[in-house]
Amino acid sequence: MPDPAYIDAVVALGQEHGFRVRAHEPMCDHTSFRVGGPADVLADPSAPEHVRLLKSFALQAKVPFALLGAGTNVLVRDGGIRGIVCRLGPAMGHIEVDHVSHRMSVQAGALLRQVSLRAAESGISGMEWAVGIPGNVGGAVFMNAGAHGGTMADVVVSVTTLTCQCEFRTWQASELAFGYRESALQGTGDIVLEATLQLEPGSREAIERRHQEILESRRQAQPLDLPSAGSVFKRPPGDYAGRLIEAAGLKGRARVGGAMVSEKHAGFIVNTGGATAADVLALIELVQRTVRERMGVELEPEVRVMGDDSAPL
């Protein structure tokens, strides 16, 4: 376990370079599940150079380093996260629009919804599909997020990352090898910092109508009134996780503590109030075991589990 003195050093680093650092920060305040213990350090860099400084510090001090985006596809364990959590959030969410080329330069912390709305305001089409996705650009590029017939692969021109060697690198779209929920970035350890998107001229009125259709469809189908991390399981080949879970008799019935399989969409696990990360993990295991036994299918979790159950520093 690293010497807890590093926490003060990271706080000082943030003060010196002008970005926010908080010690012993509850992660339940920064994830959509609303569960999880404290991070030893939560840093909010506001420039790519800040990310490089944090990563370099972690490597030199031999301190664990974890990346957090919008916190919408993450489950933080009840013991929290040791080391530095570098959050690419609103502080790194700048969006720039080139109205001549119809390109957008977006930092990794920008929410997909914000990008979609900004494109609509500018009369630029190609990001309508993203208006209902709660994640941010960095995670969307990393996993080639998509919905309603569109994906990041359709619009990405280039991506700037920070490598494991703390060097900045530019990837062209042809190098990213986008596939279904995958990209060449996975497994590299690179951190997405910024993306350039190529869109096209469109009718603002038509774009906004499409937004409303997508948002209404989402309201009808998903349990947006309770904390969750979206679809918990990846789509199995030739089927849907939600259909299998419902067919196994778990929809609205399976529950562990404050965690429950949603009554509205069986692919969602919701926090009905007071759930712990342990509750959610136990329910995930229960769903996997039941679907395996009753439906003969192995469900693979999509939600990313972070942290551990040891006591924080």
Q: What pLDDT, on the 0 to 100 scale, is given for residue 309?
A: 75
Distances (CA, A) of 190 to 49, 55, 121, 185, 292: 14, 11, 32, 6, 35
Q: What pLDDT, on the 0 to 100 scale, is given for residue 125?
A: 96
Specify the pairing of strand 74-76 against strand 304-306. Answer: parallel
Distance, in Å, from the CA atom of 115 to the CA atom of 135, rounded to the nearest integer, reads 11
Stated pTM of the model: 0.90
Distance, in Å, from the CA atom of 273 to the CA atom of 305, rounded to the nearest integer, reads 20
Burial of 183: CB neighbours in 10 Å, binned 0-12, 13-18, 19+: buried
Answer yes or no: are the C-beta atoms of 195 and 169 closer than 8 Å: no
Q: Which CATH class is domain 93-218?
A: alpha beta
Distance, in Å, from the CA atom of 136 to the CA atom of 131, rounded to the nearest integer, reads 11
Helix (H, G, I), strand (E, B), or coil: what is residue 308? coil
Name the segment(s) of the chain with CATH classification 3.30.43.10: 6-91
Task: From first to last of the 313 residues of the chain, give the pLDDT tens digit.
Answer: 456 789 999 999 999 999 999 999 999 999 999 999 999 999 999 999 999 999 999 999 999 999 999 999 899 999 999 999 999 999 999 999 999 999 999 999 999 999 999 999 999 999 999 999 989 999 999 999 988 899 999 999 999 999 999 999 999 999 999 998 899 999 899 999 999 999 999 999 999 999 999 999 988 888 989 999 989 999 899 999 999 999 999 999 999 999 999 999 999 999 999 999 999 999 999 999 999 999 999 999 989 999 987 656 5
Determine which helix (DSSP H) or strand (DSSP E) holds 109, and give its type and residue range: none
Q: What pLDDT, on the 0 to 100 scale, is given for residue 3?
A: 61
How crowded is residue 282: how many other Cβ atoms within 10 Å of its Cβ? Answer: 14
Answer yes or no: are the C-beta atoms of 79 and 46 closer than 8 Å: no
Q: What is the CATH number of domain 6-91?
A: 3.30.43.10
Q: What angle do CA 233, 153, 87 make, to 5 degrees?
A: 65
Determine which helix (DSSP H) or strand (DSSP E) holds 96, and give its type and residue range: strand 95-98
Residues annotated as catalytic (active site), given as ranges? 181, 231, 302
Distance, in Å, from the CA atom of 51 to the CA atom of 88, rounded to the nearest integer, reads 9
Q: What pLDDT, on the 0 to 100 scale, is given for residue 312?
A: 60
Name the segment(s) of the chain with CATH classification 3.30.465.10: 93-218
How crowded is residue 147: how many other Cβ atoms within 10 Å of its Cβ? Answer: 16
Answer yes or no: are the C-beta atoms of 158 and 47 closer than 8 Å: no
Name the segment(s) of the chain with CATH classification 3.90.78.10: 225-306
Q: What is the CATH number of domain 225-306?
A: 3.90.78.10
Q: What pLDDT, on the 0 to 100 scale, is given for residue 2?
A: 54
